[in-house]
Amino acid sequence: MYTTVNRIFPCLVLLLGVLLASFSAIGAQEHPERLKIGLLPGESAPTVMRLNEPLRAYLEKRLGIPVELMVGANYAATGEALRFGRIDIAYLGPVTYILQSRRARLEPFARPTHADVGPTFQAVIIVPKDSPAKTLTDLKGKEVAMGDPASTSGTWVPRYQLLEAGLAAERDYTLRVLGAHDAVALAVAHHKVAAGGLSLPIYRRLLNEGKIDPDAVRILAESPPIPEYMWTFRAGLDPAFREEVRKAFVGVNDPEALKVFRAVAFIPAVDSDVDRVRSWIEAIRKQNPNAVPAP
C-alpha cells in the first residue's frame, strides 16, 4: 500500500500544480485585452453597427484597448453570449436582462438618460393611417405584428398594453412575430397586419429617415414610461477593469457617441431599476403561464 501511495502522491501534486496554473491563467484573462460589446438586433445588424460606431471609437480611445461590436442573431443570442462569457458587456433591454439574470450573475452598470424624460422611453402600437381602429379594443380578432420575442418595447410592453385593454395574445388577437422594429413598421405601413408594436424612438427615427411614409401610418396608443436599457457586465470580469469601463461610460460627453441613444449622458444603473417591467411580465404570465420562459 505504501508503494502505491508513494507512486500516486507525486501525480496528485503534479495535477494540483496544473489546476492552480489553469486557475491563475483564467484569472489573468478576466482583464481582457479586447473589449467585446454585445448589441441587440432591434434593426438590421449593419444599421446597429453603424449607429454604434461613434461609441465604439470613443471607448477604444478612452480604454486604450481594441473594442469590438457584435450583434446577436436575435435578442436571446446576445443575452446568451453575455451569460456564457463570449462577450464582456451588452446593452440589454429590461426584459432580456431580467430573463438572463435569472440564470447568471449579471451586473447592470449604466443606462442612458434623456433631457425631458430621464432614463425612460416608450413603446407605441401603430396602425395604417386609414385604419378604422380608434382604441386598442378595436384590434380584437386582428393580427398584430411584434418584434423579437424578448424585446421589451417590441413585444412585451405592447402585449401589456393590449392586456390592460382586455386583449390577450392568441385569445383575442393573433400575434405575428417579425423580429425587428423596422420590419414591424413596414408591415403596418404596407397593410400586411392590422397593427404593430415597436419602440417610439425607433418609430420616430424611421419617419425622420424616410424609411416609412408618414402618410401611411399613425400611432394608436403610447405606452407608460419604460425603464431604459442597461449596459451590463458579464460575470467574472476583473473588478478593476469593470471600474474602468464604468467610468468610461459615465464620463461620455461626445455628442456623436450619445446620439444613437438620444441621451444627454449615461448614469449608473442597478437591478431594481427594472422592477416595473418585472410587474408587467408577471401580469402577462398570470394570463398565460407559457408566455414566460422557465428559468
pTM confidence score: 0.86
> Quick one: angle between helices 275-287 and 94-101, nearest 10?
80
All structural domains of the chain: 35-114+228-283 (3.40.190.10), 123-224 (3.40.190.10)
**pLDDT in 10s for each residue of the chain, 295 residues:** 444 434 444 443 344 443 333 333 344 446 889 999 999 999 999 999 999 999 999 999 999 999 999 999 999 999 999 999 999 999 999 999 999 999 899 999 999 999 999 999 999 999 999 999 999 999 999 999 999 999 999 999 999 999 999 999 999 999 999 999 999 999 999 999 999 999 999 999 999 999 999 999 999 999 999 999 999 999 999 999 999 999 999 999 999 999 999 999 999 999 999 999 999 999 999 999 888 776 6
**Rounded Cα distance, 271 and 97, in Å:** 9
